Amino acid sequence: MSDSDARRYIVRTYGCQMNEHDSERISGLLEADGLVRADAEADADVVVLNTCCIRENADNKLYGNLGHLKTWKAKKDGRQIVVSGCLAQKDQDDVARRAGHVDVVMGTHNVHRAAELLDEATRAEAPITEILEAAVIDDHAMFPSALPVRREHSYNAWVTIQIGCDNNCAFCIVPAVRGAEISRPFADVVAEAEQLAAAGVTEVTLLGQNVNSYGRDLQLAARRAGDESAKLRPLFSDLLRDVGAVDGIRRVRFTSPHPKDMRPDTFAAMAETPAVCEHLHYPLQSGSDRVLALMHRGYSAERYLERLSQAREAIDDLAVSTDIIVGFPGETDDDFADTLDVAAAAEFDSAYTFIFSPRPGTEAAGMEADFVDPQVAGERFQRLRVVVERSALRKHEARLGRIEEVLVEGPSKRDPGVVTGRTRQNKLVHFTPPRPLRTGSYATVRVTRAAPHYLAGDFVEIVSEPTHKLRIPVAAG
């Protein structure tokens, strides 16, 4: 069948990097089944909505989109709609009940079944809902990176090292929709990095809900199987070293670690492995010990700052980003003042700041009596933004005059004549090259201007041209 005769699909992704990676796998599975990617919804025969239940009003946005798609589906026979991801996992049969025109509803544990479920719905001429309550104990089903892939970029790639989460943060629904932590076999992760490097990928991001606890379950299983040498400790630092040693991989990133599990051996691996980037995303969430306890975060503000200081002592030129929630139930003015103090002391390079919004199914959603007045939370949010942007600007101004190596990501969204690249510290740099540069190229740029959220500079030279194909073909990992 030629591409012109093939059915076409489009995937819309909402939420975190794990969802983005799942969408790449769904795309890969559909293409392996003969579908071709559409450039626009109007040209598609299949629309997949890969949902998130963490974002505010996620369900309202989903059903609004599904209302639009009902009209889209009616315009052409054979069109199909798939709803996948965390919201589908959490709400289970609600999607089918509220939007009967959806053909397939599937959860987070059966990404591997995307093409099969679509085929089953076609043959049955009826909607199908399949929500697995736990991950299938099979590597090719359990870990998205073991499935066929249609990557959004050819020069960098997500590599799943872990699924699920064993923490119980009061504001987070992830453990309920992603399940318990399960680490992917060590050798499989390294093997995928080697395959990616052979295809021309130069940057990989190790992906998990709590990456720095990676391998603890593998060690426990080995101990139970009789391996007395298996120490009950995370293997994340070992994984950083081995992935960083893969020939052709120039940059290794990871997201996201949990402060309660941060260990000096991770800092040592970052410092001693040249490929591992000098960037640490280190979620604070609150600077108040009382609020951190309500959140069940498992660390104090003092311990957080101590570990941050250790990281900066160990790793030269380290950039640190964070997440902070404002207005968590019960947060007082004094609690918020503590958050401002810690944010100022931490001197973050960047911060993702959020006003608390209750997520159904979480402990915090049941704390209505302690909800912070929205006007108060909004005022606090603005005060926090001033603090984090002030430190971000100082950090960026300190880089003026420096020559930075950037990985070219493509033209700026605002000005196609300007190229955007990213430094090892995960900072965006805008510059104008003397000729077009392929995405995936490495170049050096002299920084001439600093803003809170980006740098700008003058092109110096090309360091290396990309070796990847224009797009990595669909292939099993």
* Full DSSP string of 315-341: STT-EEEEEEEES-TT--HHHHHHHHH
Please tell me whether residues 315 and 385 are part of one structural domain: yes
Domain final position from 339, 363, 397 = 397
Most confident of 57-61, 117-121, 255-259, 442-446: 442-446
Residue with tokens 């119980």: 168
More confident residue, 286 or 119: 286
> For all residues of the chain together, what is the average pLDDT?
88
| pLDDT beyond 50 at 471 | no
Residue 477 has pLDDT above 90, yes or no: no
CATH number of domain containing 30: 3.40.50.12160
Q: How confident is the model at residue 80 (pLDDT cuts 50, 70, 90)?
A: very high
In a shared domain, residues 172 and 290: yes
Indicate the pTM of the whole model: 0.79
- In the chain, the N- to C-terminal Cα span, in Å, equals 25
pLDDT at 475 over 50: no
pLDDT band at 416 (very low <50, low <70, confident <90, very high): confident
pLDDT band at 472 (very low <50, low <70, confident <90, very high): very low
Q: Provide mean pLDDT across the span 406-417.
A: 90
Dmax over Cα atoms in the chain, in whole Å? 66
The answer to the question of residue 469 being in a domain is no
Of these ranges, 89-98, 443-452, 463-472, the one predicted with the greatest mean pLDDT is: 443-452
pLDDT above 90 (res 267): yes
Residue at a domain's end among 371, 397, 423:
397
Q: 208 with 256, same domain?
A: yes
Q: Would you say residue 471 lies in a domain?
A: no
Question: Contact 422/405 with Cβ under 8 angstroms?
Answer: no
| pLDDT number for residue 141 | 47
What is the mean predicted confidence (pLDDT) over 429-458?
A: 96
Give residue 140's pLDDT.
Answer: 45
The answer as to whether 455 is a domain residue is yes
Residue 135 counted as domain residue = no
Rounded average pLDDT over 116-121: 88
Residues 236 and 353 in one domain: yes
Q: Is the peptide bond before 256 cis (omega within 30 degrees of 0)?
A: yes
Residue 256, pLDDT score:
87
| 160 and 299, same domain (yes or no) | yes
Alpha helices in 260-300 (DSSP H): 264-272, 289-295
Rounded mean pLDDT, 256-262:
93
Domain count for the chain: 3
179 occurs within a structural domain: yes
Long-range contacts at 293-297 (CB < 8 A, ≥ 24 apart): 294/170, 294/328, 294/329, 294/330, 295/169, 295/170, 295/171, 295/325, 295/328, 295/364, 296/167, 296/168, 296/169, 296/170, 296/363, 297/169, 297/259, 297/260
List of residues 6+ apart from 171 with CB closer than 8 A: 285, 295, 325, 328, 356, 359, 362, 363, 364
Residue 474, in any domain of the structure: no
| Enclosing domain of residue 246 | 141-397
Tell me: do 101 and 200 sit in the same domain. no
Task: Quote the pLDDT of residue 99.
Answer: 86
Same domain? For 334 and 213 the reply is yes
> 320-376: per-residue pLDDT in tens?
999 999 999 999 999 999 999 999 999 999 999 999 988 878 899 999 999 999 999
pLDDT at 150: 53
Contact yes or no for 280/267 (Cβ under 8 A):
no
Same domain, 375 and 241: yes
Top-ranked range on mean pLDDT: pick from 55-69, 211-225, 227-241, 291-305: 291-305
Does the pLDDT of residue 57 top 70, yes or no? no
Considering the domain architecture, whether residues 276 and 214 belong to the same structural domain is answered as: yes
The domain that contains 440 carries what CATH number?
2.40.50.140
* Shared-domain flag, residues 303 and 442: no
Domain boundary among 109, 130, 151: 130
Q: Is 447 a domain residue?
A: yes
Residue 477 domain-assigned (yes or no): no
Same domain for 389 and 285, yes or no, is yes
pLDDT of residue 390: 97
Q: Identify whether residues 59 and 116 lie together within a single domain.
A: yes
Averaged pLDDT for residues 46-67? 78
CATH number reported for the structural domain that contains residue 300 in this entry: 3.80.30.20
- What is the pLDDT, as a whole number, of residue 417? 87
